[in-house]
Structure 1
Amino acid sequence: MRCKYTAVEPKLTAKLIRESKMKLSNINAILMALAFVTSSCGADAYIKKGEKNLALGEYFDAANNFKQAYTRTPAKEKVARGRISAKLALCYDKMNASQKAVGAYQNVLRYGLADANTHLLFGRQLLKTGAYKAAEEQFKIALDSLPNNKLASEGLISAQQATQTKNEGSRYIVKRMEVFNSHRADYSPMLFGDEHNKLYFSSTRNEAKGDALSGITGAKPADIFVSERDDKGKWTKPEPVPGGLNTDYDEGACCFSPDQRTMYFTQCTTNPNYPRYAQVMTSARADAAWAKATKLEISKDTLSSFAHPAVSPNGQWLYFVSDMPGGQGGQDLWRIKLTTNGLGEMENLGEDINTPGNECFPTFRPNGDLYFSSDGHVGLGGLDIYVAKQNNNQQWEIEHPGFPLNSNGDDFGLTFDGPYNRGFFASNRGDARGWDHIYAFEYPEIVHSIKGWVYEQDGYELPAAQVFMVGNDGTNLKLGVLADGSFRQVVKPGVEYVMLATCKGYLNHKEELMVKPSEASHEYVLQFPLASITAPVLIDNIFYDLDKFSLRPESKQALDELVKLLNENPNVTIELSAHCDYRGSAEYNKALAQKRADAVVKYLIDAGIAEERLTPVGYGKEKPKTIRKKLTERYKWLKEGDVLDESFITQLDKDKQEVCNQLNRRTEFVVQRTTFGLLDDKGNLKAKKKTPKKAEKETEDVFDILE
């Protein structure tokens, strides 16, 4: 039993869902009809309790009451027993107790109360138990009366093809993960973190919050738990998520925004007098902790459920599940626009994905493929996992990944380990009580990817940056950067890529990469340090001999990086400055510093940088270094804003004095202008050169990015 089943049942037709939400005021009419055909030995009291439980979504309690009513109804009263069996079948269905549901439907048939819809629902339960031949028979009977029923026709095809699909198998490798599982339900895993080293999931285990057992499941209401993977790949014992996220209600099916700062999840509240409806909640992360959740107002509709949130990889859409009007029947997948001003337009994903059955648990692979579960498409039984990809006409194409990722049970809730086709999912396969458990999956494949970091040179990560990526295969992408300044992108073997990192207030940085074919997966790691436009930028690893100004050979690498930077930013002019420590006379230090600055500028000019873009200045000891925050992490005894002048240094211990003198002996640059070559003699912006027409269409975006 999953959190969302407390409010939105994925296995029922739209008709039965409506019946399960029947108002309490209408129950009396049903009770009168049942009481007419039942004996007076106490069955009617249990029926009344069961109907109230059912109307509130308390399926476990309802089933217990209907069982009591059934045993108190004499066998000769077949009509009464048949009607109670139908109610029991409904409860067992919602509780994922498929074997018990099959027994209840057999009683409905035995007492002669079966109609076409009974045969349809019976067939769907038989699919879940793997009784494909028996299911085929029930679907055929249902189709005699319901020839146009899509659920019956898809169910028949499923029953006829399931055995062959299982025998064919697939390359997927599936393994049950006991480290995450309990003796209750564990489901909806979701990886989190830049290294995907945390796994969030929902569980009704004994450690969940509260003491009361749910009338819906017979177990505790679900809470969200988390496990962490250490450096050796070992997962820790799952613990409840700390803070105010978990409540006495059901929490489940969580996901995260691309920047990892917002969690979306499903919550199912309780009310002793009103049916349960699921709602989507949000929680913000601050200082590595999740705050108390607030409701996300997707719609003003108060009679429908909203569950199973999933954010698209670009962060522009929130996908979710709902039984609200306007869908294809049962539960449908919907999406709503996420904007800086709140939620925007909402749309149904359409009949390519949605069916008269139930579609739920959407999730995304980082490459944009949409995964979801459904009991309305052809499959192996219960909820099967499907992958949806959009073609060039923006139409969804659906694929069934086969066995063993799918089974005759419920399979749902995937999460992916970065760009790779591996991760975790939930399934109740093989569990007689219908409890869900977490499994690992992997589809062996060769994946080439890039992981990059964008950060301020001599500073911190730049989450506001963007990375433009073009390839000679036609690739033209704009990549977002996560909170830690990182990004990851799958690339193709044999393709040459150019990546340009940009951020307001910083110079651009470009990297080129040729992806080599390989027989194993490989991740390229690239660094994108961006130089500030407003603050001095240290040119590290510039070396001179003592009291000399000639550059030593080991300075070449750092100077070549500076040449590259200036070529990537051709409209920038800089002041190139050299600095000394406070020891020695001011005149001597200034003269030496000037010669050293001149030597660096000469190297840059010889490398092709225009002389008018460079201004060498030797400051000597006139401008002692001012400490920035990043440097205080290395030298704990320094504070941000400290100025390393003579009076500051001479108060320190000898070893600390030498550190400060080394920090003062530096070569750095400051950006002076960013418009070099852009203006004419009158100060007006020069006209941009036009791209030749022949190549204009193919290259205009690339030129816009890289110029």
Structure 2
Amino acid sequence: MNYLRLLHILRRQRQNLLLAVGVTMMLTACGIDRNIKKGEKHLSLGEYYDAATQFKTAYQRTSPKDRRQRGELSLKMAGCYERISSSQRAIAAYRNAIRYKLDNGETHKRLADNLMKEGSYAEAVKEYRIALDSMPNNQLIAQKMQTAPIAAGVKERGSKYIVKRMDVLNSRRQDYSPMLFGDKYEQLYFTSTRNEAKGDELSGITGAKAGDIFLSEKDDKGKWSTPKAIESALNTEADEGTPAFSVDGREMYITQCLTDPSYPRYAQIAVSNRSDAAWGKATKLEISRDTLSSFAHPAVSPDGNWLYFTSDMPGGKGGLDIWRVRLTGGTTGGVENLGEPINTPGDEEFPTFRPNGDLYFSSNGHGGLGGLDIFIAKVGYDRRYHLEHPGFPLNSQGDDFGMTFEGIHNRGFFSSNRGDGRGWDHIYSFELPEIIQTVKGWVYEMDGYELPAAQIFMVGDDGTNKKLAVKGDGSFEQEVQPGVNYIFLATCNGYLNHKEEIKVGTVENSKVHTLQFALAGINVPVLIDNIFYDFDKATLRPESEKALDALVNLLKENPNVTIELSAHTDYVGSADYNKRLSQRRADAVVAYLTTHGIVKERLTPVGYGKERPKKIRKKVTEKYSWLKENDVLTEEFIKKIDKEKQEIANQLNRRTEFTVLRTTYGMFDEKGNLKQQPRPKKKDSLDDDGMIIIDIP
């Protein structure tokens, strides 16, 4: 091969190489533009994880010499990483933007926020100072610069809270917003994006699956089961999370983010109804006509009258605020912003309540240890909220939120992304050891079952006046304060009222005061248990006094009631003799009642002898399995059963009962007008005679 031939070949190769480089540069530029456009598209839809991926690819393809574009892409990545709580990546991206001279006051403020989330308090103070120099009138930055130096001391000082990570509940993805449920708080619902969640696609927002509601249950030994997705139409391929329950446990409120490839993801609150122990498909709850704002993180007030939630709707203090809307008959009406001191120019989210009315929420606008911190809002004597910061370790440098309480006790679960480099949230348990006194009560029908439809009115001489909800097992639980005298009144449609009083003293250890509310039905005969007479006589024995005194109290608590007081015998003996004996016994009970202050006009004694054998109610069959509901203990029925069972049946027939005849005694004058109009309730809930005044619907 001669020299000219070789030179020609080398010249052609150089031309080809230059052409290839030019084409590569053109293709790279086109690829970068394509990544940026995809990133912007994802960003407009709120798909921060996918947007960050595209911006990162564009950044890596951009020449280091193109400092402006690299700086702009760094800012975009930082914003996306911040949105998905990946604070370490956000810090690196913000620092890159500063290195490329594309920073401003907001850049340094956001860098400081993320440094706080990593516990780098000293560095955060420096960045806040730079941000404040650029934005001297920004009150939020000024506040954070003041509280950041304090954070290290708060963390070092700690608190009495005991916090443990619940590995049995957590996965390698997001697990958050736990909510206890059940009469014994034996069920824990929460949100998870673990692999078992529905759907196959990964969320463009988080890079994980869309969230579903999962359930773990506690056994008799206190051990929590491996969580499983609830078997319900509630979970879909969209995002469902942050469950909250109505007071009666029949409704579940959730946050729902539906998928739409063309529009941004706006969160909405949906409600699912419970039927046959299963949750139905959730339907949107109409809170406002605003279609461009998010509504999330539902929480029901202890009295069931208000739904609290998080929203960025107009009219707030800035960022995300906590609002509330009145719940009335399955609908909503009257949206209110909680205002100061709860809401700030920052973000306030994840409201929840302790049964005592304390409002817990998370905020990054009140200062704290880093990201979202948990705050407690308590209503003082001035009827205003006063805020408390529970300190470390309930709060951390990360995001801490989503509280749920085991009844009145200051223990339960919450969620936090502390110590997770990817920003995943996990579930933690918490407990604050404390000496408390509580009232544990049960409401049930006399000779029958629990009454979950009942209500409890609680009044104390310290000004307390509350309406308490009764759970499905007929129980309620309420914290009480030392040195206060309380009255608890149980009411239920179709039943007479019943009142209990307690005086709460000072104790060295936690104490539970137990109360029983056995309500007498208006429409059925009510057995007066433990009434004893001398054999074959109408003389009341001394051991009957406790039951008779209880009946006296019942009639005094229900002064407008008249009753028939009936006595019954077994079938042994003649009908005439049994009728006369039972009449004398009924007269003896009435005589006891009248000597203890009950007007005789309210009492009708009747001796039925053996004319009305007992009709068995379901509750009795639990004690005597050989009996069935609605069995009637006639002489014919008894003689067909075993001798031993015959004596039990005869004992059941030998009984004293009362039946409500009227509920309006003494209420009207001769002209049929109501004698005494209801008086307005006074501020201290007491009338001039020291009697308790309670508003009962």
> Same-fold call, TM > 0.5?
yes
Is 1:430 aligned to 2:407, yes or no?
no
Distance in 2, matches of 1:317 and 1:201, equals 22
Over residues 153-192 of structure 1, what are the superposed CA-to-partner deviations in whole Å (9 max), with x where a residue is unaligned? 2221232221122122222222212221111111101111
Distance in 2, matches of 1:484 and 1:519, equals 30
Q: Is the alpha carbon distance of 1:651 and 1:256 closer, same or farther for their aligned partners in structure 2, counting shifts above 3 Å?
A: same
Matches within 5 A, 1:661-700: 661-678=650-667, 685-686=674-675, 699=688
Instruction: Using the TM superposition, give the Cα deviation of residue 98 of structure 1 relative to its aligned residue in structure 2, in angstroms.
Output: 0.5
RMSD: 2.7
Q: Is the alpha carbon distance of 1:700 and 1:397 closer, same or farther for their aligned partners in structure 2, counting shifts above 3 Å?
A: farther
The aligned counterpart of 2:16 is none
Is 1:216 aligned to 2:201, yes or no?
no
The aligned counterpart of 1:277 is 266
The answer to whether the 8 Å contact 1:448/1:523 transfers is yes
Is 1:377 aligned to 2:366, yes or no?
yes
3-state SS of the aligned residue for 2:160?
Answer: coil
Distance in 1, matches of 2:264 and 2:459, equals 53
Instruction: Using the TM superposition, give the Cα deviation of residue 346 of structure 1 relative to its aligned residue in structure 2, in angstroms.
Output: 0.5
Q: What runs of 5+ residues in structure 1 fail to find an aligned partner?
A: 1-35
Instruction: Using the TM superposition, give the Cα deviation of residue 107 of structure 1 relative to its aligned residue in structure 2, in angstroms.
Output: 0.8
Is 1:310 aligned to 2:299, yes or no?
yes
Moved more, 608-617 or 241-250: 608-617
The aligned counterpart of 1:85 is 74
Instruction: Using the TM superposition, give the Cα deviation of residue 655 of structure 1 relative to its aligned residue in structure 2, in angstroms.
Output: 5.5
Amino acid across the alignment from 1:171: K
3-state SS of the aligned residue for 1:379?
Answer: coil
Instruction: Using the TM superposition, give the Cα deviation of residue 313 of structure 1 relative to its aligned residue in structure 2, in angstroms.
Output: 0.9
Instruction: Using the TM superposition, give the Cα deviation of residue 677 of structure 1 relative to its aligned residue in structure 2, in angstroms.
Output: 4.4
Amino acid across the alignment from 1:308: H
3-state SS of the aligned residue for 1:467?
Answer: strand
Amino acid across the alignment from 1:331: L
Distance in 2, matches of 1:148 and 1:537, equals 73
Matches within 5 A, 1:247-326: 247-326=236-315
User: TM-score, normalised on structure 1?
Assistant: 0.89
Amino acid across the alignment from 1:364: F
Moved more, 114-123 or 451-460: 451-460
Instruction: Using the TM superposition, give the Cα deviation of residue 555 of structure 1 relative to its aligned residue in structure 2, in angstroms.
Output: 2.5
The aligned counterpart of 2:592 is 603
The answer to whether the 8 Å contact 1:41/1:72 transfers is no
Instruction: Using the TM superposition, give the Cα deviation of residue 705 of structure 1 relative to its aligned residue in structure 2, in angstroms.
Output: 4.2
Instruction: Using the TM superposition, give the Cα deviation of residue 643 of structure 1 relative to its aligned residue in structure 2, in angstroms.
Output: 3.2
Instruction: Using the TM superposition, give the Cα deviation of residue 229 of structure 1 relative to its aligned residue in structure 2, in angstroms.
Output: 2.1
Amino acid across the alignment from 1:390: V
Instruction: Using the TM superposition, give the Cα deviation of residue 581 of structure 1 relative to its aligned residue in structure 2, in angstroms.
Output: 2.6
The answer to whether the 8 Å contact 2:584/2:607 transfers is yes
Distance in 2, matches of 1:294 and 1:688, equals 44
Instruction: Using the TM superposition, give the Cα deviation of residue 682 of structure 1 relative to its aligned residue in structure 2, in angstroms.
Output: 6.5
Over residues 206-240 of structure 1, what are the superposed CA-to-partner deviations in whole Å (9 max), with x where a residue is unaligned? 22222222222222211111222223222222222
Moved more, 644-653 or 332-341: 644-653
Instruction: Using the TM superposition, give the Cα deviation of residue 249 of structure 1 relative to its aligned residue in structure 2, in angstroms.
Output: 1.4
Over residues 35-60 of structure 1, what are the superposed CA-to-partner deviations in whole Å (9 max), with x where a residue is unaligned? x9995262222222222222222222
The aligned counterpart of 1:360 is 349
The answer to whether the 8 Å contact 1:123/1:155 transfers is no
Instruction: Using the TM superposition, give the Cα deviation of residue 632 of structure 1 relative to its aligned residue in structure 2, in angstroms.
Output: 4.2
The aligned counterpart of 2:556 is 567
Distance in 2, matches of 1:702 and 1:665, equals 39
Instruction: Using the TM superposition, give the Cα deviation of residue 487 of structure 1 relative to its aligned residue in structure 2, in angstroms.
Output: 2.4
- For residue 174 of structure 1, the aligned residue among 163, 168, 188 is 163
- For residue 108 of structure 2, the aligned residue among 116, 119, 137 is 119
Amino acid across the alignment from 2:399: D
Is 1:94 aligned to 2:78, yes or no?
no
The aligned counterpart of 2:18 is none
Is 1:440 aligned to 2:429, yes or no?
yes
Moved more, 441-450 or 151-160: 151-160
Moved more, 125-134 or 695-704: 695-704
Give the number of equivalent residue pairs. 671
3-state SS of the aligned residue for 2:29?
Answer: coil
The aligned counterpart of 2:33 is 44
User: TM-score, normalised on structure 2?
Assistant: 0.90
Q: Is the alpha carbon distance of 1:689 and 1:198 closer, same or farther for their aligned partners in structure 2, counting shifts above 3 Å?
A: closer
Instruction: Using the TM superposition, give the Cα deviation of residue 471 of structure 1 relative to its aligned residue in structure 2, in angstroms.
Output: 2.6
**Structure 1 vs Structure 2: percent identity of aligned residues?**
64
- For residue 578 of structure 1, the aligned residue among 557, 561, 567 is 567
The answer to whether the 8 Å contact 1:385/1:406 transfers is yes
The answer to whether the 8 Å contact 1:186/1:437 transfers is yes
The aligned counterpart of 1:389 is 378
The answer to whether the 8 Å contact 1:470/1:702 transfers is no
Q: Is the alpha carbon distance of 1:178 and 1:90 closer, same or farther for their aligned partners in structure 2, counting shifts above 3 Å?
A: same
Amino acid across the alignment from 1:561: A
Matches within 5 A, 1:135-154: 135-154=124-143
Is 1:337 aligned to 2:311, yes or no?
no
3-state SS of the aligned residue for 1:595?
Answer: helix
Distance in 2, matches of 1:72 and 1:445, equals 58
Is 1:591 aligned to 2:585, yes or no?
no
3-state SS of the aligned residue for 1:191?
Answer: strand
Distance in 1, matches of 2:44 and 2:323, equals 26
Distance in 1, matches of 2:364 and 2:38, equals 30
Amino acid across the alignment from 2:483: G
Is 1:457 aligned to 2:440, yes or no?
no
Distance in 1, matches of 2:441 and 2:49, equals 51
Is 1:207 aligned to 2:176, yes or no?
no
Distance in 1, matches of 2:593 and 2:463, equals 34
The aligned counterpart of 2:54 is 65
Distance in 2, matches of 1:682 and 1:88, equals 82
Matches within 5 A, 1:220-235: 220-235=209-224
Q: What runs of 5+ residues in structure 2 fail to find an aligned partner?
A: 1-24
3-state SS of the aligned residue for 1:519?
Answer: coil
Moved more, 632-641 or 93-102: 632-641
3-state SS of the aligned residue for 2:237?
Answer: coil
- For residue 160 of structure 1, the aligned residue among 118, 124, 149 is 149
Instruction: Using the TM superposition, give the Cα deviation of residue 505 of structure 1 relative to its aligned residue in structure 2, in angstroms.
Output: 2.9
The answer to whether the 8 Å contact 2:377/2:387 transfers is yes
Matches within 5 A, 1:648-667: 648-650=637-639, 652=641, 657-667=646-656
Q: Is the alpha carbon distance of 1:303 and 1:450 closer, same or farther for their aligned partners in structure 2, counting shifts above 3 Å?
A: same
Distance in 2, matches of 1:158 and 1:99, equals 22
Amino acid across the alignment from 1:437: H
Instruction: Using the TM superposition, give the Cα deviation of residue 418 of structure 1 relative to its aligned residue in structure 2, in angstroms.
Output: 1.5
Q: Is the alpha carbon distance of 1:350 and 1:703 closer, same or farther for their aligned partners in structure 2, counting shifts above 3 Å?
A: closer
Q: Is the alpha carbon distance of 1:140 and 1:38 closer, same or farther for their aligned partners in structure 2, counting shifts above 3 Å?
A: farther
Instruction: Using the TM superposition, give the Cα deviation of residue 564 of structure 1 relative to its aligned residue in structure 2, in angstroms.
Output: 2.2
Over residues 428-486 of structure 1, what are the superposed CA-to-partner deviations in whole Å (9 max), with x where a residue is unaligned? 11111111111112222211111212222122333343333333333333334334333
The answer to whether the 8 Å contact 2:299/2:309 transfers is yes
Is 1:187 aligned to 2:197, yes or no?
no
Over residues 591-642 of structure 1, what are the superposed CA-to-partner deviations in whole Å (9 max), with x where a residue is unaligned? 2222322332333334343333332211111112223343344445555444
The aligned counterpart of 1:525 is 514
Over residues 321-350 of structure 1, what are the superposed CA-to-partner deviations in whole Å (9 max), with x where a residue is unaligned? 111122122111111111126211001111
Instruction: Using the TM superposition, give the Cα deviation of residue 413 of structure 1 relative to its aligned residue in structure 2, in angstroms.
Output: 0.8
Amino acid across the alignment from 1:125: N
Amino acid across the alignment from 2:145: L
Amino acid across the alignment from 1:670: T
Q: Is the alpha carbon distance of 1:456 and 1:272 closer, same or farther for their aligned partners in structure 2, counting shifts above 3 Å?
A: same
Amino acid across the alignment from 1:508: N
The answer to whether the 8 Å contact 1:359/1:372 transfers is yes
Is 1:643 aligned to 2:632, yes or no?
yes
Is 1:128 aligned to 2:117, yes or no?
yes
The answer to whether the 8 Å contact 2:325/2:332 transfers is yes
Q: Which has the higher contact order (CA 8 A, sep 6+)?
A: 1
Distance in 2, matches of 1:687 and 1:63, equals 72
